[in-house]
A and B are shown apart, each in its own frame.
Chain A
């Protein structure tokens, strides 16, 4: 269902049919495209600026902000930035947190979504309402209490604290997604299986799980971007500079050398590049996933 929205592209035929195609029509089309291109390039200036900045010295960034010529090109920033921000340790931490969180969110979220969507009971509907209410709570509001919570559970300053908290704050959304998705699946799907004497878990695992690919993609992408880019939680709960996450590493080393723009840009580039590369190759899924998640909300 979510898929359909994007696979049928009605616009392609829609607007063509009501165009008669005069000269003014063509002119306005060209003008419109021109404006669009100008603005598209304009919003890319910051990205262009920092990406080329990563390959320049500080002085050159200041002098020639938007130029990159072979004479200006240098790779020196990378060595220094990787060293200063402890890049590989940070990458490993961020990667671990993201992957484990995603596993938890998908596994437990789909399980809960299955129960909530397939069982019609008042208590379950109330539970679902509570889950929706939890989605609204702002994270920063409870961060102090969260620290105390991790301390009392003796996981403060560990990756587990970060993972579990991320999972907890992303589960409501994933439950919401999975429930919505599975509610739309026909009842007949599982009935035959129950008749054959399958257990509920078998039904979930064998029949439903394979159907969940589109919604799982949504869940992975939405949660993944959020967890990868998290700053505040890692800053407060995982607050060691020797085991930072990428975002905290960039920030803390930028704090020391504010004026070293080359290093800062390299840091930004390094911290974002894994997700950028993933996006470049999977953009179709990214965009589809995001749209599907929201419109059905």
Chain B
């Protein structure tokens, strides 16, 4: 009997049974994901080709690509695109850069340094907070006359800064809290990456006479490529998806200079514009952008890894 399993005919029946059971195992998650992920995505695609205020009693009217054509004509579209890209780029670059540096610092574990576990937890902590509360918190901190930031500046003898109503500066004002909240995650990932670099590599390189920057250039960074890939990927996707945090802080002002794609989706979908089609078209743009970025980054960064 034991041996029989490995014989061909029995084997296939066994395999077929396994396959059927396997399919059965997939059923629950498939149903849930189909109902609440796949189907809604298909529906959004449908909405994006119809004119519809979003009420069941009003029938949909097929309009082809009209909604997509209307998107660039919506108020502040250009600025919104610029701000979305600025935000995503700024958040990604700053988060990855800052957390890489911090992770390098936290990775030093030789004698006489402060407890690394404590430091690591300190840096990780902000990412436990919800985006909604982080938005509220930072909005208060940025308040022109009552916020802690301006209060401190004034106490130190400076002039208060209008953090939320100055072009370009406001873009920065919404990036900082986002980096603050995303950073914990990326630092921890970098740390894990650093700690998985084999010790022998460092030893070998120092024996060969490499100096610190050479070690960093030729060992640390190449070995960290997978962590960098994953961090750039997750951070940029998170930045593109960000909604409530920057909205609570800046309301998309001044002008449309800090308004993000997600916020425009919410506006057309939920603020009674009667133009759900445009909201859906914007959603499709977001979905495609994120898909494209993931693909690009994946291909590009994977390739780099191979080179190193």
Contacts and interface: CB of A to CB of B under 8 A. Distances in A.
Q: Tell whether A pairs with B.
A: yes
Interface of A: 5-6, 8-19, 29, 32-33, 36-37, 39-40, 43-47, 49-50, 61-62, 65-66, 104, 108-109, 111-112, 114-116, 118-119, 121, 124, 127, 131, 133-134, 136-146, 148-149, 153, 164-165, 167-169, 171-172, 175, 194-195, 199-201, 204, 225, 228-232, 236, 246-248, 250-251, 254, 259, 261, 264-265, 267-268, 271-272, 275-276, 279, 283-284, 286-287, 290-292, 294-295, 297
Given A286-B124, A290-B189, A33 B140 contact: no
Q: A interface, by DSSP: helix, strand, loop or mixed?
A: helix
A10 B199 contact: yes
Interface string B6-32: 000000001001110111011011101
Given A10-B197, A15-B202, A46 B126 contact: yes
B152 A272 contact: no
Contacts of B102: 36, 39
A272 B244 CA distance: 17
Given A272-B128, A292-B192, A18 B206 contact: yes
B113 to A, nearest CB: 6
A149 B36 contact: yes
B130 to A, nearest CB: 3
Contact of B287 (A138, A195, A271): A138
Contacts of B279: 144
Interface stretch (B38-46, B61-69, B71-79, B251-259): B38-46
Interface size class of B (residues with CB under 8 A): 35 or more
Given A33-B113, A40-B122, A138-B240, A251 B29 contact: no
Contacts of A276: 125, 128
B241 interface: yes
6 contacts: A43-B180, A109-B29, A112-B26, A115-B23, A145-B39, A165-B36
A281 B62 CA distance: 56
A86 B16 CA distance: 54
Q: Give 5 nearest A-B pairs by CB, closest first.
A: A229-B130, A168-B36, A291-B192, A141-B283, A145-B40
Nearest to A194: B5
B206 A17 contact: yes
Given A164-B35, A232-B244, A145 B43 contact: yes
B189 A231 contact: no
Contact of B192 (A5, A14, A36, A172): A5
Contact of B270 (A195, A236, A264): A236
Contacts of B109: 9, 11-12, 15
A5 B264 CA distance: 42
Interface of B: 2, 5, 14, 17-19, 21-23, 25-26, 28-30, 32-33, 35-41, 43-44, 47, 54, 102, 105-114, 117, 119-133, 136-138, 140-141, 146, 148, 151-152, 180, 183, 185, 188-189, 191-199, 202-203, 206, 226-227, 230-231, 234, 237, 240-241, 243-244, 248, 262, 265-266, 269-270, 276, 279-280, 283-284, 286-287, 290-291, 294
A10 B198 contact: yes
A232 B247 CA distance: 12
A15 B108 contact: yes
Given A10-B195, A144-B279, A276-B128, A264 B29 contact: no
Nearest to B185: A290
A175 B131 CA distance: 25
A251 B119 contact: no
A66 B29 contact: no
B193 A295 contact: yes
A138 B189 contact: no
A108 B132 contact: no
Contacts of B194: 11
A108 B32 contact: yes
Contacts of B37: 134, 137, 142, 168-169, 172
Contact of B227 (A36, A111, A295): A295
Contacts of B276: 144
Residue picked from B21, B138, B280, most chain A C-beta under 10 Å: B21
B121 A287 contact: yes
Contacts of A47: 125-126
A284 B121 CA distance: 9
A90 B14 CA distance: 50
A168 B35 contact: yes
Given A136-B294, A200-B21, A279 B36 contact: no
Nearest to B295: A136
A43 B123 contact: yes
Given A66-B148, A279-B128, A140 B108 contact: no
Contacts of B54: 144
Contacts of A138: 237, 240-241, 262, 283, 286-287, 290
A201 B291 contact: no
